[in-house]
Amino acid sequence: MIRAALAALLVAVVLGACIGGDPDCAALPTRIELTLSADELRPSSPAVCRGRDVTLVVTSEVDGVLHIHGYDDDVPATEVAAGEVTELAFTARRSGQFPIELHTDENTQGVALGVFTVHEP
């Protein structure tokens, strides 16, 4: 079931490579605070506009490895630790929707917790 959901999410990424919708890029934050647990990311759908410098400030409640599929070159898989804050700073170079996944000792296959959306300006 999880694999089917992940496969559907990956199809959405491929099909949604150019996310539009005329967002107000000036209103979208470039510094986004996220809270990470073993089965949830709050907020679950952080969004920015392409070409913007972004900082994701992740407060983790668990130990694990966090990564954003499709942004592996800009944001390599990063270890997070319970009770610590990790900042991921990068430029949003590609538009689309990119699954945010966490791997823990209990779930080495990983679980998709949210979607990072990069809109076209």
CATH code assigned at 109: 2.60.40.420
Number of domains in the chain: 1
pLDDT tens readout for residues 48-101: 999 999 999 999 999 999 999 999 999 999 999 999 999 999 999 999 999 999
18: pLDDT strictly greater than 90: no
Whether 46 and 116 have beta carbons less than 8 Å apart is answered as yes
Residue 22: predicted pLDDT: 58
- Confidence grade of residue 15 (pLDDT, cut at 50, 70, 90): very low
Residue 25: predicted pLDDT: 87
What is the pTM for the complete model shown? 0.79
For residue 51, give its domain range. 2-119
Mean pLDDT across 13-35: 70
What is the 3 state secondary structure string of the chain? Answer: CHHHHHHHHHHHHHHCCCECCCCCCCCCCCEEEEEECCCCEECCCCEEECCCEEEEEEEECCCEEEEECCCCCCCCCEEECCCCEEEEEEECCCCEEEEEEEECCCCCCCEEEEEEEEECC
Q: What are phi and psi of 11, to 5 degrees?
A: -60, -40
Mean pLDDT across 38-57: 96
Residue 21: predicted pLDDT: 52
- Gap between the Cα atoms of 73 and 87, Å rounded: 16
More confident residue, 64 or 9: 64
| Separation of first and last alpha carbons in the chain | 35
- Confidence grade of residue 108 (pLDDT, cut at 50, 70, 90): confident
What percent of the chain shows pLDDT beyond 70? Answer: 82
- Gap between the Cα atoms of 88 and 76, Å rounded: 9
